[in-house]
């Protein structure tokens, strides 16, 4: 059956038919035709943001918290370019996202028309794929294809740029679309049985294996399979910044996060292992440090759905292309078969690792600056809110502390900008997460710098009744940059002072600002006030809450492996490299 629709109506109808229930966006000339039928849709909730970057990160937060597709929409030119940062972010972190942009009339494309930007060209290297639609009748097939590409294989952002005349033109709409838009798109999900067998053999030969778990395990929804595998072989587990929550922090097999600010047991465990069982991770430089000296003695099993990740940075002895959920389940089965009930003994490896865990637990010291310790604030938020809550972070010190001092027990509860490191991610991502998971407690743990990049979405939260909680870890500076200046630039603090602390000019006053946005706004300066403020925030659900935690600016993120240095040189605290029992 067909029905005469405009291209604009077809966009909305296709989204409805493809199960989209929420879009974040902001209208303008070139997308106006689509906003008209959007107003009538009873299936799609449109949330009007205050900046398109907010729409993009909200779509990301929606996707990361729920595992579903996130959708954002913007007009041509500046509307579209305002999405660019979020699209790049989604690309780096494999977030399933659909970005719809209006484009000038097809005959005006290429003439430098008003609000024309070649957004397909601009986003080519930061999208999984993109479409420029100039004919209304292509819309249903393009929308279906775009969503399929965004959500399958290695997920990622897909851009659909629709010329205004294609939105206005009428055509005969039918569903499902018959035209195949992308015959070249065929992600591999099922691994080669032989490879899985080889991986199992390699595991059982190894004496010092380690599970190097990346964000792919979360995107694949493979946490249960991972748990089963880890329990079967009893191997130590590390979860990267993107994988926090893929394996419970409370489990004794968990060594914590590896990398630049990873735990000593995780960093060292990888360095000393004889086998990396790499699952949905990509040997990012923030994990490996100097690649040449990374886990030098280890063989590598590399499981990834993206063949291009395998062997990109580190040679894989056993490469396995496939969906982590499928591969891990098969691998576990194969191991069970090969073990035949025998126990796989790595107790010597464990006694070494347990020693590390005991000697080098994560921790922090209160500084005698009369200010709150930022780590304490974050730790209390985690303890009071619990592992069912969702935590979105900005980028900087507060992000690292949130990854370190909150215990994650569940996937999709830790949202952050890992690959791109986008300041401004937290508030809109938390907003998107809360929309996707309204019954969940959602925190944005943000820096005073990051917060100033996207806090206007608090207006969106207030107006649309999206009661997120924001904790500003206010150290009155661009803290992470300041930390590097402390460590590597002789304490010359070039342009990192933000003047937002209580003993400064306090511009802006975050309490006044948040109050103006209709939030419950609280300032906390003393240890005794911390718990009460967090509890009040948790109880307040009629509006967003912003807590301005005034913390010391000299706190630093430890442990640390300086950029480009070997992970062997991990520093537990300033000038404190772990001592390796004279074993080498």
Ligand X SMILES: Cc1ncc(C[n+]2csc(CCOP(=O)(O)OP(=O)(O)O)c2C)c(N)n1
Q: Which residues does the annotation mark as catalytic?
A: 52, 114-115, 164, 480
Least distance to ligand X, CB of residue 449, Å: 3
Q: Which of 27, 28, 449, 467 binds ligand X (CB under 6 A)?
A: 449
**Site membership for another protein, residue 183 (CB under 8 A):** yes
Least distance to ligand X, CB of residue 452, Å: 8
**Site membership for ligand X, residue 56 (CB under 6 A):** no
Least distance to another protein, CB of residue 308, Å: 4
**Site membership for ligand X, residue 93 (CB under 6 A):** no
Distance CA 126, CA 92 (A): 8
Q: Which of 17, 32, 44, 120 binds another protein (CB under 8 A)?
A: 120
Using alpha carbons, list the distances in angstroms from residue 220 to 64, 292, 305. Answer: 11, 30, 9
- The site partner of 121 among another protein, ligand X, none (C-beta below 5 to 8 Å per kind) is another protein
- The site partner of 422 among another protein, ligand X, none (C-beta below 5 to 8 Å per kind) is ligand X
Phi and psi dihedrals of 170, rounded to 5?
A: -95, 150
**Of all helices (H) and strands (E), which one includes residue 45?**
strand 45-48
Least distance to ligand X, CB of residue 93, Å: 14
Total number of residues shown for the chain: 584
Beta strands 170-173 and 3-6, pairing class: antiparallel
Other beta carbons less than 10 A from residue 525's beta carbon: 16
- The site partner of 206 among ligand X, another protein, none (C-beta below 5 to 8 Å per kind) is none
**Site membership for ligand X, residue 126 (CB under 6 A):** no
Of 322, 324, 128, residue with least CA distance to 214:
324
Cβ within 8 Å of residue 460, ≥6 positions away: 47, 48, 49, 50, 54, 431, 466
**Site membership for ligand X, residue 396 (CB under 6 A):** yes
Of 296, 287, 300, 329, residue with least CA distance to 206:
300
- Compare residues 142 and 233 and give the one whose CB is closer to another protein: 142
Distance CA 445, CA 380 (A): 12
Of 68, 3, 17, residue with least CA distance to 436:
68
CA 180 to chain centre: 31
**Site membership for ligand X, residue 508 (CB under 6 A):** no
Least distance to another protein, CB of residue 120, Å: 7
Q: Which of 411, 447, 467, 578 binds ligand X (CB under 6 A)?
A: 447
Site for ligand X in 461-490 (CB under 6 A): 473, 475, 477-481
CB-based burial, 393-404: b 16+ in 10 Å, e otherwise: bbbbbbbbbbbb
Least distance to ligand X, CB of residue 19, Å: 32
Distance CA 497, CA 478 (A): 7
254 token code pair: 């968990």
**Site membership for another protein, residue 178 (CB under 8 A):** no
**Site membership for ligand X, residue 33 (CB under 6 A):** no
- The site partner of 124 among another protein, ligand X, none (C-beta below 5 to 8 Å per kind) is another protein
**Site membership for another protein, residue 297 (CB under 8 A):** no
Distance CA 155, CA 72 (A): 16
Q: Are 372 and 551 in contact (CB under 8 A)?
A: yes
**Site membership for another protein, residue 132 (CB under 8 A):** yes
Least distance to another protein, CB of residue 299, Å: 17
- The site partner of 409 among another protein, ligand X, none (C-beta below 5 to 8 Å per kind) is none
Least distance to ligand X, CB of residue 30, Å: 27
**Site membership for ligand X, residue 450 (CB under 6 A):** yes
Of 81, 83, 85, 116, residue with least CA distance to 99:
83
Distance CA 455, CA 457 (A): 5
**Site membership for ligand X, residue 397 (CB under 6 A):** yes
**Site membership for another protein, residue 162 (CB under 8 A):** no
**Site membership for another protein, residue 308 (CB under 8 A):** yes
- Compare residues 173 and 549 and give the one whose CB is closer to ligand X: 549
End-to-end CA distance of the chain: give it in Å, rounded: 75
Only one of the segments 124-132, 245-253, 537-545, 555-563 lies at the binding site for another protein (rule: CB under 8 A); that segment is: 124-132
Of 422, 360, 327, residue with least CA distance to 126:
422
**Site membership for ligand X, residue 418 (CB under 6 A):** no
Q: Which of 19, 78, 110, 121 binds another protein (CB under 8 A)?
A: 121
- Compare residues 322 and 479 and give the one whose CB is closer to ligand X: 479
Other beta carbons less than 10 A from residue 319's beta carbon: 21
Site for another protein in 205-244 (CB under 8 A): none
DSSP string for residues in 301-315: EEEES-GGGTTTSS-
Q: Which residues bind ligand X (CB under 6 A)?
A: 394-398, 421-423, 447-450, 473, 475, 477-481
Q: Which residues bind another protein (CB under 8 A)?
A: 120-121, 124-125, 128-129, 132, 149, 182-185, 306-308, 311-312
């Amino acid at each position: 059956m067909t029905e005469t629709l405009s291209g604009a109506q077809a966009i909305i109808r296709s989204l409805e038919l493809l199960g989209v229930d929420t879009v974040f966006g902001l209208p303008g000339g070139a997308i106006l035709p689509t906003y008209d039928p959007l107003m009538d849709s009873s299936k799609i909730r449109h949330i009007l943001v205050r900046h398109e970057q907010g729409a993009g990160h909200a779509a990301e937060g929606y996707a990361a918290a729920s595992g579903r597709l996130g959708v954002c929409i913007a007009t041509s030119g500046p509307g579209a370019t305002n999405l660019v940062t979020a699209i790049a972010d989604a690309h780096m972190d494999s977030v399933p996202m659909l970005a719809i942009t209006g484009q000038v009339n097809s005959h005006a494309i290429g003439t430098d028309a008003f609000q024309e930007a070649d957004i397909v060209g601009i986003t080519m290297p930061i999208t999984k794929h993109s479409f420029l639609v100039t004919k209304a009748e292509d819309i249903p097939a393009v929308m279906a294809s775009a969503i399929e590409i965004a959500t399958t294989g290695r997920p990622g952002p897909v851009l659909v740029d629709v010329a205004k005349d294609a939105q206005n033109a009428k055509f005969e709409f039918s569903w499902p679309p018959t035209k195949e838009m992308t015959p070249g798109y065929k992600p591999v999900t099922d691994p080669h049985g032989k490879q899985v067998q080889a991986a199992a053999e390699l595991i059982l030969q190894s004496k010092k294996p380690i599970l190097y778990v990346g964000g792919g395990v979360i995107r694949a929804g493979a946490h249960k399979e991972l748990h089963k595998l880890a329990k079967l072989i009893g191997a130590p587990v590390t979860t990267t910044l993107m994988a926090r929550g893929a394996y419970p922090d409370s489990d004794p097999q968990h060594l914590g996060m590896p990398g630049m600010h990873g735990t000593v047991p995780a960093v060292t465990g990888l360095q000393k292992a004889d086998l990396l069982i790499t699952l949905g991770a990509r040997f990012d430089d923030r994990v490996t440090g100097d690649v040449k000296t990374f886990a030098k003695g280890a063989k590598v099993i590399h499981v990834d759905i993206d063949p291009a990740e395998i062997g990109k940075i580190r040679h894989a002895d056993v490469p396995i292309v496939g969906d982590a959920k499928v591969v891990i389940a098969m691998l576990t089965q194969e191991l069970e078969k090969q073990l035949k009930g025998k126990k796989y003994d790595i107790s010597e490896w464990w006694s070494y690792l347990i020693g590390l865990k005991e000697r080098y637990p994560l921790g922090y010291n209160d500084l005698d600056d009369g200010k709150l310790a930022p780590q304490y604030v974050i730790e209390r938020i985690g303890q009071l809110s619990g592992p069912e809550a969702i935590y979105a972070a900005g980028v900087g010190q507060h992000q690292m502390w949130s990854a370190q001092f909150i215990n994650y027990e569940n996937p999709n509860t830790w949202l952050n900008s890992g690959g791109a490191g986008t300041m401004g991610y937290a508030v809109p991502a938390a907003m998107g997460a809360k929309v996707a998971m309204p019954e969940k407690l959602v925190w944005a743990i943000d820096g005073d710098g990051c917060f100033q990049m996207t806090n206007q979405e608090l207006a969106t939260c207030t107006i649309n009744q999206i009661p997120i909680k924001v904790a500003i870890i206010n150290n009155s500076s661009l803290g992470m940059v300041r930390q590097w200046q402390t460590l590597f630039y002789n304490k010359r603090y070039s342009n990192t002072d933000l003047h937002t602390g209580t003993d400064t000019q306090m511009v802006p006053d975050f309490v006044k600002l948040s109050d103006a946005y209709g939030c419950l706004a609280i300032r906390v300066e003393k240890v005794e006030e911390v718990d009460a403020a967090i509890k009040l925030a948790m109880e307040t659900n009629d509006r967003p809450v912003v807590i301005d935690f005034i913390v010391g600016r000299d706190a630093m993120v430890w442990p640390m492996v300086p950029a480009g240095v070997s992970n062997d040189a991990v520093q537990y605290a300033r000038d404190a490299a772990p001592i390796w029992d004279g074993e080498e």
